[in-house]
Structure 1
Amino acid sequence: MPLSLEQWIAGGERTRIVGHEIFHRQDGPEDGRPVTLLHGFPTSSHDWAPILPALTASGCRVTTVDLLGFGASAKPAGHDYRITEQATIVEELWSHLGIGPTALVAHDYGVSVAQELLHRNASRITMAAFLNGGLYPDLHRPTRTQRLLHSPFGAVFQHLATASMFRKSLREILGRPVDDEQLDDMWRAMIMGRGLRVQHRLLYYIDERRHHAERWRSALEQYPGPVQFIWGPADPVSGGHVLPRLRERLPHAQFTVLDEPPTTGHYPQVENPDAVATALTAFLK
């Protein structure tokens, strides 16, 4: 069993970065190959817990972080959450931890942070792996819940959410069974620190993706290092419909499509951790 949310948080620490307390962890041998994992919306770095043992056993020094507004990091009310600020937080965390060149693995919301980091300094990223995420904003299909949160009524709607509503919403984008205990950990990571009050503001990333579409597309397509896509095609948000463009625009990339029954959906590392760990550890070597 992966670490529970409480165990995950107990094994990390908080550091003040750009004026906010940011939760992060480091696992694996201190002299291991550096790899940084970036999580998605609306959850936290705990999403990576199912594959962490395989990464550390393969010799990786794994850095995980709860981005601002997520998980055990600060969730300031009224804050203007931006992907560009999240990228700065990651850069400052790397500086704080003494991390130089690093592999980068990103999922969902985290893929936009990764694209911004590639835009700023691609030479710092030794290799890049992406799991289901909105790499091309015109192909991103937000869920009904996300559309409501992003609407003018989002500030009110966010406070109506319940654990059962959250589980139902998540299961609509999953392809494989995920037990209630794991989904409840995701829910608790989202709501801790009065997290419900910031959900509509975090969703500004939908607009920011459109605003920076060309910048982030170029950063992805012109990145000269090794690239891997580990993809759940059953995902209605960023699933199989994204793969043809990725194959066309990045013909040199490696693809692991998790289409064996039951087909994987939006959270590959949670739904199908063994397959993700196998593909990712082979790539990172």
Structure 2
Amino acid sequence: MMAGIPLATWRAQGQSFDFQGHGLRYWVAGDPQAEPLLLIHGFPTASWDWHYLWQPLAQRYRVIACDMLGFGDSAKPRGHAYRLIEQADIQQALLAHLDIQGPVHVLAHDYGDSVAQELLARHCEQRVQIASCVFLNGGLFPETHRPVLVQKLLLSPLGPLIGRLFSRRKLAASFRQVFGPDTCPGAAELDDFWSLIAAHDGPGVMHRLIHYIPERRVQRERWVTAMQTGEVPLRVIDGAVDPISGAHMVARYRELIPQPDTVLLDGIGHYPQTEAPDQVLAHYLAFRTALDVR
């Protein structure tokens, strides 16, 4: 396993920017002249998910990531209507804050996949320039997404209560369901994941964040059409045993996307960037190398 970045070190390296009155934390590394690579995290975690890949990617690219609104160390406003559309606005605002105007490569996971799909649709609408996009495990198609029980409960009328009762113990139970059988996080890593979720009373907004699931259904046709155009090079790197969006999602991807470029990681679950970062890095760099020789 490659060396990661301790959470305390990661947090100390973060910077802040303002989005419509909300404070957001972000991270940048690598040569400012290198090609920009935007990393977009998933639910319910944060940009620290990328900590194993951060330095290896920063040796080659200008890597950029933020904790999205409602996640990690960013603001988690009460009563806010969290939407994937707004999270894509935030990614574009961050790029503008960093004065990045040219094409951007994207590497996304889970909830971040949906934000990346929105950016792909905006690329087709000439509202942003996306150079390539690689998806890790996520619900690219609503019809293949299999939410775990806590997600279903958060969407129910019991959602506010379920969120408030969410705990480190329940996080551990959820992770055991979705990680590979031999790649579950240890106690210290779970403590760190939980620290980011719990910051700013994060469980109090989880029932609001979960509305990305119905929002995906609303946007499906626009997003899938954007993926089918072939305008932006795509790859899926997917943990095969993930019950939420594993091999069954990749099978659907192969049905829907022309000339599908997919990689299945045997024995790996929903968080390949922390379960098998060396494999994800190798397959990501192979994808980028192939782009360079086109």
* Alpha-carbon displacement from aligned partner over 1:153-174 (angstroms, at most 9, x marks no partner): 0101111122122111111100
If the length of structure 1 is used for normalisation, what is the TM-score? 0.95
- Amino acid of the structure 2 residue aligned with 1:87: A
Out of 151, 158, 173, the position equivalent to 1:153 is 158
Mapping of 1:249-264 within 5 angstroms?
249-259=256-266, 263-264=267-268
Q: In the comparison of the two structures, how many residue pairs are matched?
A: 281
- Counterparts of 1:18 and 1:106 in 2: how far apart (Å)? 24
Corresponding residue of 1:120: 122
Asked if the contact 1:148/1:154 (under 8 Å) is kept, the reply is yes
Q: Deviations over 1:152-204 (max 9, x none)?
A: 00101111122122111111100023222222211111110111100000000
Q: Residue 230 of structure 1 contacts residue 256 of structure 1 at CA under 8 Å; is this kept in 2?
A: yes
**Which of 210, 213, 217 in structure 2 is aligned with 1:206?**
213
| Matched AA of 2:78 | A
> What RMSD, in angstroms, separates the aligned Cα atoms of the two structures?
1.2
Name the residue aligned to 2:224: 217
- Secondary structure of 2:10's match? helix
What is the CA–CA distance in structure 1 between the aligned matches of 2:21 and 2:92, rounded to whole Å?
14
Which aligned pairs between 1:43-82 and structure 2 lie closer than 5 A? 43-57=45-59, 59-82=60-83
- The answer to whether the 8 Å contact 1:103/1:284 transfers is no
- Larger CA deviation: 37-46 vs 155-164: 155-164
Q: 1:177 and 1:115 mapped to 2: Cα distance?
A: 28
Partner SS for 2:160? helix
Name whichever of 38-47 and 250-259 sits farther off: 250-259
Cα distance in 2, alignment partners of residues 252 and 149 from structure 1: 37
Partner of 1:142: 147
Q: Structure 2 stretches of 5 or more lacking a match?
A: 290-294
For residues 37 and 82 of structure 1, the distance between their equivalents in structure 2, rounded to whole angstroms, comes to: 18
DSSP-derived class of the 1:113 partner: helix
Q: Residue 256 of structure 1 aligns to a residue in which SS?
A: strand
Which residue pairs with 1:230 in the alignment? 237
Task: Please name the residue that 1:32 is paired with.
Answer: 34
Aligned partners of 2:249, 2:265: CA distance in 1, in Å? 14
Pair 1:273–1:78, CA change in 2 (3 A): same
Counterparts of 1:181 and 1:275 in 2: how far apart (Å)? 23
Within 1, Cα distance between the matches of 2:260 and 2:12? 37
Structure 1: which amino acid aligns with 2:224?
R
Contact kept? 2:175, 2:184, Cα under 8 Å: no
Give structure 1 stretches of 5+ with no counterpart: none
Is 1:283 paired with 2:287?
yes
Give CA-to-partner distance per residue, 1:1-24, whole Å, 9 cap, x none: 311222112111110012211111
1:253 CA drift (Å): 3.5
Q: Once the two structures are aligned, what percentage of the paired residues are identical?
A: 42
Name the SS for the 2:200 alignment partner. coil
Structure 1 runs, 4 residues or longer, greater than 4 Å off: none
Offset at residue 223 of structure 1 (A): 4.1
Q: Structure 1 stretch 34-43 or stretch 272-281: which is displaced more? A: 272-281
Taking the aligned partners of 1:104 and 1:76, their CA distance within structure 2 comes to 27
CA distance in structure 2 between the partners assigned to 1:113 and 1:28 by the alignment = 23
CA distance in 1, matches of 2:171, 2:233: 36
| Structure 1 residue 206 displacement after superposition | 0.6
